[in-house]
Amino acid sequence: MSDIEFNADWQSSIDLSAHYQWLGEQITTEMRSNAPVETGHLADSCFFVVHDDHLEVGNSAEYAAYVEYGTEDQRAEPFARPAVYKRRFK
């Protein structure tokens, strides 16, 4: 019978950077296509950053949250959340 070695810290031994890279590209592409276009700045400001243990996606436009969630005077035009939710369980 052969010995089986169990690594209790298996998650730290899996390199997910290639998957995070692919997923970040997918999500930001979707965000850009969902973004309402007036000047193109909102779409151009979509970004992602691959970290060791997670993926960060966002938008650097100072008004992105107002577009995403709306204001008292402006209806919400979500562009980021639908892109993330679309790939949440894939």
How much is the pLDDT for 41?
97
- Give which of 63, 68, 65, 61 is closest to 83, Cα–Cα: 68
- pLDDT above 90 as % of the chain: 68
List b or e across 65-87, with b for residues whose CB sees 16 or more CB atoms inside 10 angstroms: eebbeeeeeeeeeebbeebeeee
Mean pLDDT of 53-60: 93
How far is residue 31's CA from residue 81's CA, in Å, rounded to a whole number?
8
> Does pTM surpass 0.85?
no
How much is the pLDDT for 16?
84
Q: Is the pLDDT of residue 5 over 60?
A: no
How much is the pLDDT for 1?
47
Domain ranges of the chain: 14-86
Mean pLDDT of 16-21: 90
Distances (CA, A) of 31 to 2, 22, 86: 50, 14, 11
The 8-class DSSP code of residue 20 comes to: H
